[in-house]
Amino acid sequence: MKILLANPNTSQSVTDRIAQVARAAASPGTALVAVTGSAGVPYIATRADAAVAGRTTLELMAEHAGGCDAAIVAAFGDPGLGGARELLSIPVIGLAEAAMLTACMLGRRFSIVTFSGTLGPWYRECVDYNGLASRLASIRCLDGPFDDIASVQDEKEDLLVDLCARAVDDDQAEVIILGGAPLAGLSARVAGRVPVPLVDGVAAAVRQAETLAALAPRKASVGSFRRPAAKSIVGVSTALKRLFDHTN
Amino acid sequence: MKILLANPNTSQSVTDRIAQVARAAASPGTALVAVTGSAGVPYIATRADAAVAGRTTLELMAEHAGGCDAAIVAAFGDPGLGGARELLSIPVIGLAEAAMLTACMLGRRFSIVTFSGTLGPWYRECVDYNGLASRLASIRCLDGPFDDIASVQDEKEDLLVDLCARAVDDDQAEVIILGGAPLAGLSARVAGRVPVPLVDGVAAAVRQAETLAALAPRKASVGSFRRPAAKSIVGVSTALKRLFDHTN
Amino acid sequence: MKILLANPNTSQSVTDRIAQVARAAASPGTALVAVTGSAGVPYIATRADAAVAGRTTLELMAEHAGGCDAAIVAAFGDPGLGGARELLSIPVIGLAEAAMLTACMLGRRFSIVTFSGTLGPWYRECVDYNGLASRLASIRCLDGPFDDIASVQDEKEDLLVDLCARAVDDDQAEVIILGGAPLAGLSARVAGRVPVPLVDGVAAAVRQAETLAALAPRKASVGSFRRPAAKSIVGVSTALKRLFDHTN
Amino acid sequence: MKILLANPNTSQSVTDRIAQVARAAASPGTALVAVTGSAGVPYIATRADAAVAGRTTLELMAEHAGGCDAAIVAAFGDPGLGGARELLSIPVIGLAEAAMLTACMLGRRFSIVTFSGTLGPWYRECVDYNGLASRLASIRCLDGPFDDIASVQDEKEDLLVDLCARAVDDDQAEVIILGGAPLAGLSARVAGRVPVPLVDGVAAAVRQAETLAALAPRKASVGSFRRPAAKSIVGVSTALKRLFDHTN
Amino acid sequence: MKILLANPNTSQSVTDRIAQVARAAASPGTALVAVTGSAGVPYIATRADAAVAGRTTLELMAEHAGGCDAAIVAAFGDPGLGGARELLSIPVIGLAEAAMLTACMLGRRFSIVTFSGTLGPWYRECVDYNGLASRLASIRCLDGPFDDIASVQDEKEDLLVDLCARAVDDDQAEVIILGGAPLAGLSARVAGRVPVPLVDGVAAAVRQAETLAALAPRKASVGSFRRPAAKSIVGVSTALKRLFDHTN
Amino acid sequence: MKILLANPNTSQSVTDRIAQVARAAASPGTALVAVTGSAGVPYIATRADAAVAGRTTLELMAEHAGGCDAAIVAAFGDPGLGGARELLSIPVIGLAEAAMLTACMLGRRFSIVTFSGTLGPWYRECVDYNGLASRLASIRCLDGPFDDIASVQDEKEDLLVDLCARAVDDDQAEVIILGGAPLAGLSARVAGRVPVPLVDGVAAAVRQAETLAALAPRKASVGSFRRPAAKSIVGVSTALKRLFDHTN
């Protein structure tokens, strides 16, 4: 089985971390292809960043999904997910989506804990978009600045553990998602210090991608997730153009 | 990996079917233990049936979960799921829950199609309980009686395919769950005749159980899904009594 | 008029308290039959306890509802309520349900105040199940342990009054439900110390049961609350078996 | 016990019908005072009618609530209910509110069936206002004109029974409310022809008013349902003025 | 263009303030007609006040809407709005409605900040009525008494600015509505001291009224906002009577 | 006043139509700048199209918003709206958002009627995203193919009028939005044939943009709609790069 991890960030360091956590989480026989966006910002943290990333996701998917059994939008917030799900014939899943749906199987209310306050309202839109507001205990974000996106999980580890404790004690969180690709892998390290199950978005997404690929659902041939009819498109990558105009 | 399939129905034929579909869906290394309830009805189809089945589920789990890595409440509607999730230290998942959350990764709105009209309102409660009403396109049920629960999926195959078509055309379903353990395995057979992805609850539950077991979330030590403090209980099976009073 | 109070707990002391409060609340001509479960825990406080209690409720109802005009599931959280409503031809109501719907006639948002922190999330599920989340101001629970379920309302009286004050001041509760059968009767004693109306679940349930019996609604003959068709069931009490297989 | 039925319509014939049904539904010892509005329309059927009726309700309550133990806003849609609940120290309940909350104890989803299509959207607002949209199966209204509001229930009886059948069959209604004061009493007559429980708003309101009076909740002394501080008001009836400025 | 500002309060001073702010906000060519209620309270602050004001609104509209292109219910909470929208052929908008819908274009979640704690729950009903609860960050109200409704915005200016800061910091408000006609004009003065956009209900309503008048939507001829059929009404102003019985 | 109309489609003919309708709807003193995307599809009709359009919107805004007082995302579905609202200091509004919020002032439930069935589910996401699902009566879409996007409103005029009639009759729509930029201007032409108010998205957006510009709300300096801190971005237009890295 081969799974595409499409990181619409432009940070190779984030892709590397994602890939490392994904490999640790994947089943023995699963091959991973981790690719990085060439248009956008180093780390998606705003609606504007995500608006740019939507197209980047599609371009990455168009370029690299061939031969894969499932694909992952490897940025929390899942920019471009719906579009990718329309265009591709393989299952596509988002990091936030996978984390939230997995959390729903481990408790009734989940919190999302993350490292930057600017992410809260955007994450909340993502929860709303997935129709899961009634399952959300809280979103809690650290306040201050951080030094380096590549090592923010080390720098903020203790503060994040404290924030998890507040989500459990004050918001009655029964599961906690450590949100944002830069925190990939942290769950495994701090699980002993947080008294409820932790969900790592990357690990959850990889396993869910495997699950969907194994279940092998057919591609919709009608409805809003069927492949759109061929249409011309301009100004995008050749691979994406071909996916749109059915010349691939 | 070993997964417990606890069928709180009393029909060995249904357990057999579930086990067969589960084996086909499971990963190569996964062992399955399929057990059948000794108290209750042959097929759970009402709230009253489910109220009896809740305790049966707990008794099956208490008896058989030892040595397993995850457990499945193998009846659509998931009787006793929350209680089992409290009592056990391994992940527990329900057939309906697994089907619905998996469906959410394949489209935005799912329908549940099933073979008996009496199931509709109870299934709707299950959707509401999971907080997924905004993701539901419709629940569609066949009207008439059926001959034998063990072969109802064969008897009603064409009618169920027609009902799927109506869910897609009239309700804009983007994914369809064939609901109820007696329909386990039908999805694979009729996928070519339904124009959107189909989700088989048993297959989805087995794969999700594997996923949760692989992610190895810790058991909550606080909050409402921690293991309850030891308390005395009377009138239940010895195994369940030990799970309650911590003498196991 | 005769009303059945079916306590799916195994504590005679709790049944005694319920019966005493019920008698004080009932109309002059109302006779009460209060019965105690023979399978389960002394006090239902978790989803697991409730899963066991669902069947106990049905068994109590099957045994004792004959000759009654209405029946009450006399445990907050209402285990087995839906099933009992299907099986019996008389109106059936739950303690939590009666308390919440009565509260809705006294104010716009109610809080539930109770004596044990473990009850909060389970009570919240009960609110959600009833579709009343938009009417809920808060659920507030005391934290510490208590000495004896039979006298917890005396032991914790002052702390519960303080918690009511917080619900009013901080959560804008306009009505307060003192939740849990062990608190039955406390409302009457502390009404002068809480500045908004208090609802006692037992008193509300008895009066609502009288109301439903007086209105004499017909039993549904179609739909999900009609009496289910006769079906065989094993492993349950004789009385419940007869209710299922129509040999009663 | 004495209960005020305040009909903010100006139709004595509707008041008479309400009073007749109320007397049949009330407990033996209950006295009823039924009064008719002096400002407004013969039958409230629009938001504009209800906007006028809100003040009429308050004026009727101010004039006649003295000595009563509970009061009923005796028009479906409950104009002025919240205001009356603030001003009076006795429990106040609305016809629609009582019908809906009672219906919630008899099934999971109720329909409202009524005789005039113009009522549908306004009734829907009333359902929404009570936070009960998730419990609503449908609102179904007859289309054509009617001859006389006083006898519309006789004229339309068969059509209304047919409409109930559609609510049950097509919308899965488990309980039906026959909405609107002019239909008071019809439920008793047609119960045998509708296969699910029927709720009569007037009967339900009288019994719920008795229930609230018997439970004797204290008047809130804080929060939004405490009695408002004395304030001057002009242009209203003397009785209402006194209720506002605390000179009563 | 001519816009009617119907203040269902009886305070000329509040009308004057509304008119002043409205004039500052209106387009150059817009004429304003500001009228004051003759029945009711000086300042609407409770559900009871609003129940009286509903009819006052209709009477003001009936008397003064002739020749106007749009009308505004110039009291936060919008008493009588739905009825006025039915009766009149010109667009009608409410202060609260205009403020909230305008706020939705400036951010995702708005808070309402106001000067009196008694207003909170009533405002919350107004948010719910408009179906905007998911867009609400919080309602925050000052606690203490105030000296004079005409100058409360001066007296409480600093406290209100502090409260806005709490709404932004603690509730993540992205826009703030200064609620209540007595605060009209305050937004302009304190905009520099609050770090998110402020919405002034009066200014928003005037501009929205202009917008609706310019778009010139047709009056509904069917459905619940068509003009109701002629019906007799008693006990109201002559102008309103004519609007009801179609003799105007 | 100057307003930017940013059409993230690549069809000059659609931009021309939008501009024509916008000019007719705008106030006398309003200047309009209508620009067309250079990357994307001729007409946005899927989630994939919208994912590409999000970035195109930002690039158009970055290039052309200078000197404007407000900006409009001139495609139904509002791709990139949230991001543009973060980046720009002027008010930004979307076509769908403006249409829906304007519709909310004209009735309680609106329908969206459009010309292509593929648009329905995506429009529904847009309604959900705006938190307005409770205000939606229905989305109704024509089924068949169309000849030319530039003249689809002429080709389908009669069918669209028929569809409006069904939305009114069957779904109780009280207002109708003719959805999609290619239908701009149709409302004015068919208003006489549809019995409820029609909302034209372009006209509504222009007037709402004027309203927001006139109200002159301050740009948020904190919270999720403040301007994001300077960050590097690659692979996008120079103008957008400057907006991101604060070198403009």
CATH number for F189: 3.40.50.12500
Same domain, B63 and B8: yes
Q: Is the dihedral of CA A181, A187, A189, A190 positive or negative?
A: positive
Same domain, B196 and B105: yes
Whether F101 sits inside 8 A of E97 (CB atoms) is no
Same domain, E87 and E114: no
Bin F119: left if φ > 0, else alpha if -120 < ψ < 50, else beta.
alpha
Tokens 């998110």 appear where?
E196
Same domain, B110 and B47: no
Count the residues in chain B: 248
Average pLDDT over residues D84-107: 98
Token pair of D221 as six digits: 């002394």
Average pLDDT over residues B219-243: 97
Whether A172 sits inside 8 A of C125 (CB atoms) is no
Same domain, B104 and B192: yes
For chains B and F, CB pairs below 8 A equal 8
Range of weakest confidence among B62-71, B112-121, C30-39, F135-144: B112-121
User: What is the pLDDT of chain D when averaged over all its residues?
Assistant: 96
Average pLDDT over residues F90-94: 98
Strand positions, DSSP E, chain D: 2-7, 31-36, 70-73, 92-94, 110-114, 136-141, 175-178, 198-200
Residues of D in contact with C25 (CB under 8 A): 214-215
Same domain, F213 and F129: no
Angle, vertex CA A189, rays to CA A168 and CA B66, nearest 5:
75
Strand positions, DSSP E, A23-166: 31-36, 70-73, 92-94, 110-114, 136-141
pLDDT at D118 over 80: no
Average pLDDT over residues D106-123: 92
Q: Is F218 helix (H, G, I), strand (E, B) or coil?
A: coil
pLDDT band at C171 (very low <50, low <70, confident <90, very high): very high
CA distance F117 to chain B (A): 10
Burial pattern F63-74, b for ≥16 Cβ within 10 A else e, equals bbbeebbbbbbb
Q: Which residue of F has its CA nearest to A230?
A: F41
Give the count of alpha carbons within 13 A of D29, CB side only.
8
Same domain, A104 and A74: no
Of C170, C185, C201, which residue sits at a domain end?
C201
pLDDT at F248 over 80: no
Report pLDDT for F30: 98
Residues of C in contact with A172 (CB under 8 A): 120-121
Interface test with E, best of F215, F218, F221 (most E CBs within 10 A): F215
Interface residue ranges in chain C relative to chain E, Cβ cutoff 8 Å: 108-109, 134, 172, 174
pLDDT at D33 over 80: yes
pLDDT band at A159 (very low <50, low <70, confident <90, very high): very high
pLDDT at D135 over 90: yes
Chains C+F touching (3+ CB pairs under 8 Å): no
Percent of chain F exceeding pLDDT 70 equals 100
C-alpha pair distances (Å), A142 with each of A153, A155, A157, A163, F20: 12, 12, 11, 8, 49
Q: List pLDDT tens digits, range A196-207.
A: 999 999 999 999
Whether A39 sits inside 8 A of F131 (CB atoms) is no
Termini Cα distance of chain B:
22
CA distance A61 to chain F (A): 12
Same domain, A116 and A194: yes
CA distance A231 to chain C (A): 45
Same domain, E117 and E55: no
CB atoms near residue E16 (< 10 Å)? 14
Instruction: List the strands of the sheet with A70-73, edge to edge.
Output: A31-36, A2-7, A70-73, A92-94
Report pLDDT for C116: 86
Residues β-bridged to residue B73:
B6, B94
Residues of B in contact with F133 (CB under 8 A): 134
Same domain, E122 and E192: yes
pLDDT at F72 over 80: yes
Q: Is the dihedral of CA C229, C230, C234, C240 positive or negative?
A: positive
Whether C215 sits inside 8 A of D199 (CB atoms) is yes
Instruction: List the strands of the sheet with A136-141, edge to edge.
Output: A136-141, A110-114, A175-178, A198-200
Q: At what angle do helices D95-104 and D201-215 cross, to 10 degrees?
A: 80
Nearest by Cα to D103 from D203, D210, D7: D203
pLDDT band at B197 (very low <50, low <70, confident <90, very high): very high
Same domain, C111 and C67: no
Same domain, A121 and A197: yes
C-alpha pair distances (Å), B215 with each of A26, B31, B91, B225, E181: 10, 17, 10, 18, 56
Q: List pLDDT tens digits, range D174-206.
A: 999 999 889 999 999 999 999 999 999 999 999
Nearest CB partner across the interface for B105, out of A135, A212, A214: A212
C-alpha pair distances (Å), D156 with each of B155, D118, F128: 44, 16, 39
Nearest by Cα to B211 from B89, B70, B64: B70
Whether F199 sits inside 8 A of E219 (CB atoms) is no
Residues of A in contact with F56 (CB under 8 A): 235
Whether B174 sits inside 8 A of F121 (CB atoms) is yes
Number of domains present in the structure of chain D: 2
Q: Is the dihedral of CA B164, B169, B170, B171 positive or negative?
A: positive
pLDDT band at B24 (very low <50, low <70, confident <90, very high): very high
Q: Which residue of C has its CA nearest to E125?
A: C108
Token pair of E171 as six digits: 């509730």
CA distance B198 to B175: 6
CA distance C236 to chain D (A): 26
Residues of D in contact with B133 (CB under 8 A): 134
pLDDT at D119 over 90: no
Structural domain span for residue F25: 2-94+204-245
Report pLDDT for D117: 76
pLDDT at C248 over 80: no
Chains in contact with B via at least 3 Cβ–Cβ pairs below 8 Å: A, C, D, F
pLDDT tens across the length of chain E (248 residues): 999 999 999 999 999 999 999 999 999 999 999 999 999 999 999 999 999 999 999 999 999 999 999 999 999 999 999 999 999 999 999 999 999 999 999 999 999 999 987 789 999 999 999 999 999 999 999 988 899 888 999 999 999 999 999 999 999 999 999 998 899 999 999 999 999 999 999 999 999 999 999 999 999 999 999 999 999 999 999 999 999 999 97
Average pLDDT over residues A173-188: 95
